[in-house]
Structure 1
Amino acid sequence: MDDGFHGKVQYGLSIKDPAFTDSKGTTGDLSNNFEIDNTNGKIPFSTTPMTTPILSNFTAIGPNDAAGTSTDFGYGMRFRRGSKVTLANSIVLGSQKGGLIIEDDQTQTNYKSGDSRFYNSLIQAVTKPFLVLGKDSTILNTAALTNLTLGSNLSQLLSSATDAGLNDPFNNQAPNLKPKDGSKALTTAGKFDVNGLDNGFFDKTTFIGAMDASNDWTSGWAVWGK
C-alpha cells in the first residue's frame, strides 16, 4: 500500500512460502508481509495525501525460519516513507528478520504520536520483534517502540508462534488458520476505539486475526501449495 492510499480493509491473509519469493539480487527489496509507504522515496515523505490505511483482522504468516527459507525474506510489517498505518486486531507470526520495523524520522513521528499503531494484536518473530531505523533516535528508538506497542497499543509479544493458538499456520500445502478453543487469538476480543476503527464499516469481532474457530472463509476457493 502506498502513494496516498486511503481506505479500510477487514479480514485478510498474508502467507509466505519459505522456499518461494522474488529474488532480491543486488538492487531489489526484501519480501515482507506488509510494506506500507507514503511515497516512492523520490519525493518528500511528508507529501499529501498521506498513505493512511486502517486495517483490522489480518493474519500474516512468515517463514518462521523453516528449512530452506530464502534469505530474501524480511519483515512482518515494514512501515516507512511517512506512512500512517493502523493495523489492529491482527496476528503476525514467523517474521524472518523482524516483526515490526519503523523506518525514517517521519514514520517514527507518526507512530509515536498515535497516528500509526499496531494495536491489540499478537506478534512473534524469529529475530528482532521490534526495530527502528532512522537518523534521529530521539524521536523513537527500538526500546520506546517496544514499550509503546506492548503498552498503550495493547499488543502482545509471543515467545513462540504456537502461543497464538492457531491450528496449523505453517503448513503451506494446507494451512489451518483457525484458532483453537481457548487460544489467545480466540479469547482476545477485538478493540475498535482508535484511529477510525469505530467506523460502521468494521464488524466488531470478539476475536483477533482473520478467522474465528468455526469459519474458514478460504474453504472452497483458495488453492494452496501451488
Structure 2
Amino acid sequence: MATLGMTVAAVFSFTACSEDSNGGSSSTDPDVTIVDGVAQSAGILFNEGTQIGNGDQNFVFTGKQTIKKGTYTLKGWVYVAKDAELTIEPGTIIKGDKASKAALIVEPGGKAIMEGTASAPIVMTSAQPAGSRKPGDWGGLIVCGNAKNNQTEMQIEGGPRTKHGGNNDADNSGIYRYIRIEFAGAPFQEDQEINGFTIGSVGNATAIDHIQVSYSNDDSYEWFGGTVNAKYLIAYKGWDDDFDTDNGFSGTVQFGLSVRDPHIADQSQSNGFESDNCADGAAVAPYTTALFSNMTFVGPATEKNISEGFQNNSSYINAGGLYPNNNSKLGLFQAAMQIRRSSRLNCINSVAVGFPIGLIIDGDKGNTVESAKNGMLKLQNLIFAGMTALGSDNNKKYEDQYYDKTTGQYDPSRVSYSHEFFMAQTGNQVMTENQLALSDPANVGQNYCPAANSPLLSGASFNGITSLFLNKVSYIGAFGGNTDNWMSGWTNFDPQNTVY
C-alpha cells in the first residue's frame, strides 16, 4: 500500500462537472495527485460527473462524497481509503467497465454507505448492452475491515492491493443494503477472479442485508475472517460456490437463497457452501465458526432440470451463451455443503434440494472430521431432498462410501461418515423434492415460498443458540410462506435482458 504522506510526484486537473463533498457540483474534475505511482483524490466523479474513478487500477479516493441517484460507469479499481467515506444514494445504477475490470474496494478504515431501498435498490451491473452480458464482465464489490482473521494481516483475493485484518471485531465498514451485483468476477489473472461480493475481516458494526449477487464468475459471496452478520442474501446462478467462508469467519447469516444454473459449474467443483479454516487446514484460531440459519439451496439436479436432460458432465455443463471467454474453466457440480480444512461451520433450519452430494465433511486436510465427532459442528434441523448421494467423505468423490483416512481406503459396504453424521444430528431429514411442496422450484424469479402444505413451514429450532442477531422463526429454509417473500420489489432474476 502506498504511503499517503509521500512526496507529490504530479498533480492533474480535468475539466468536467462533478459533485463535491457536500453533494453539490463543481466545474472541474477533482484534482488527482500522483504519489509513488498511485492516483489519489478527495473527489471520485470524472467525465462530466458520469464516471466513478479515473480508469486507473490504482485510483484511491480519500475524501467524503455523496453520489447522487443516477447512472454511472465505474472505471478501474477504485479504492475507498482509510478515513474516506463514500455515500451512494438509493436507485443509483453503476455499470462496471469491462476493459478496466472495474471494481469498488473499501479498505480498512474506509466506509461505503450504500443504503438502497426495496423500491429503489442500488444496482452494480455490467456495462455491456442487454443480451450481451456475461459472468466476469467487471470486477465486483470488495469490503475490507479491521476485525480478526486467523492469518493476522491478509492480502485480499482477486488482485487488489488491499490488506485486511486487525483486532477490532466491532469494526464498522459502512452500510450495504438493498444492492444487486450482476455479472461480476473478472479475473485479474488466470484463476485469480474477484468474487461477486468479497468480505475481508469486516466487523460486526457493519450492516449487510438484502443483497442479490447474480452470474458471478467466481463465488457469489466469500468471507475471509471477520465477525460481520448478514440477512437476506441471494446467490443466483454463480460460477463457483454460493457462500464461501474462510480464515476464521465467525459471523451469523440468516435468510439466504442460492440457485444454480445447471449449465454453469467451476473446475474446482461448485458447492452451495464451501468452508475452510485456512488453505492448509491448520488448526489456528479464530476458527471458521460462522452460523447460517434459514438457508434454501436449489441445486442443478431438480426434477425439472433432470427432465430437461441435466447431467453432471462436461458435455452438459458448457455455460451455453454465457461462457465469458476469459480463461474461466468449467467443471462439475459437487455438494450442497462441503466443510473441510479444520472449519467448524454451523448450519441450522435449512433446506437443500438437487445436488449430486448432500454433505461432505472432508478430512483430507486438517481436523474437520475430528471436530464433527467432538460436537463442534452444529448441522441440525436440515432437510435434504433429491440428492444423488447423501454424503461423501472426500472432495470429488461422488460415491457414498466410508473413507478410512489412516489406510486411505474406501469401504463400499458402509455409507460415508458424512452420511452417518447427517442422520445422527437433531432434526435432520431426507425427503423427495415433491414432499417439500415448494411453490415454484423451477422458476425462482416468481414466488419462491413453501406452499401451504409444505413441511418446511414448521420444525425450526434455536435450542442452544445464543446469537441475538437471529429472528427466532418457526420455519425451515429462507421463506415462511406466500406472505413472506422478502425478495419482492428489489430483486431481478433476468438481468441479462434488463435495459439499464
Cα distance in 1, alignment partners of residues 385 and 493 from structure 2: 23
Cα distance in 1, alignment partners of residues 446 and 362 from structure 2: 31
Residue 40 of structure 1 aligns with which residue? 279
Taking structure 1 as the reference length, what is the TM-score of the superposition?
Answer: 0.84
1:204 aligned to 2:463?
no
Query: Equivalent residues in 2 for 1:83-122 (5 A)?
Result: 83-95=343-355, 97-104=356-363, 106-122=367-383
Partner deviation per Cα, 1:98-141 (whole Å, 9 max, x = no partner): 0111101611111122211221111124311112236148xxx8
Cα distance in 1, alignment partners of residues 393 and 386 from structure 2: 15
Q: What SS does structure 1 have at the residue aligned with 2:282?
A: coil
Pairs aligned (count): 211
Following superposition, the deviation at residue 205 of structure 1 comes to 0.7
Query: Equivalent residues in 2 for 1:1-226 (5 A)?
Result: 1-22=245-266, 24=267, 29-41=268-280, 44-64=281-301, 66=305, 67-68=309-310, 70=317, 72-95=332-355, 97-104=356-363, 106-133=367-394, 135-136=405-406, 142-158=415-431, 160-172=432-444, 174-188=445-459, 190-194=460-464, 197-213=465-481, 214-226=483-495
Following superposition, the deviation at residue 32 of structure 1 comes to 0.8
Cα distance in 1, alignment partners of residues 406 and 352 from structure 2: 27
Taking structure 2 as the reference length, what is the TM-score of the superposition?
Answer: 0.40
Cα distance in 2, alignment partners of residues 169 and 156 from structure 1: 19
Structure 2: gaps spanning 5 or more residues: 1-244, 311-315, 318-330, 395-402, 408-413, 496-500
Contact 1:166 1:176 in 2 (8 A): no
* Alignment CA distance shift 1:92-1:35 (3 Å): same
Partner deviation per Cα, 1:57-101 (whole Å, 9 max, x = no partner): 000110116234525211110000010011000011111x20111
Residue 168 of structure 2 aligns with which residue? none
Following superposition, the deviation at residue 175 of structure 1 comes to 4.7
Structure with higher Rg: it is 2
Contact 1:57 1:90 in 2 (8 A): yes
Following superposition, the deviation at residue 18 of structure 1 comes to 0.8
Structure 1: gaps spanning 5 or more residues: none
- Amino acid of the structure 2 residue aligned with 1:179: P
Residue 148 of structure 2 aligns with which residue? none
Following superposition, the deviation at residue 142 of structure 1 comes to 4.1
Cα distance in 2, alignment partners of residues 117 and 109 from structure 1: 13
- Amino acid of the structure 2 residue aligned with 1:33: G
Larger RCO, structure (CA 8 Å, separation 6 or more): 1
Cα distance in 2, alignment partners of residues 6 and 117 from structure 1: 14
Structure 1 residues 162-171 or 201-210, which shifts more? Answer: 162-171
Partner deviation per Cα, 1:173-200 (whole Å, 9 max, x = no partner): x253201112110132x11113xx2322
* Alignment CA distance shift 1:114-1:175 (3 Å): farther
Following superposition, the deviation at residue 215 of structure 1 comes to 1.3
Cα distance in 2, alignment partners of residues 156 and 124 from structure 1: 9
Cα distance in 2, alignment partners of residues 75 and 175 from structure 1: 25
In proportion to residue count, which structure has more strand?
2
Coordinate RMSD, CA, aligned? 2.2
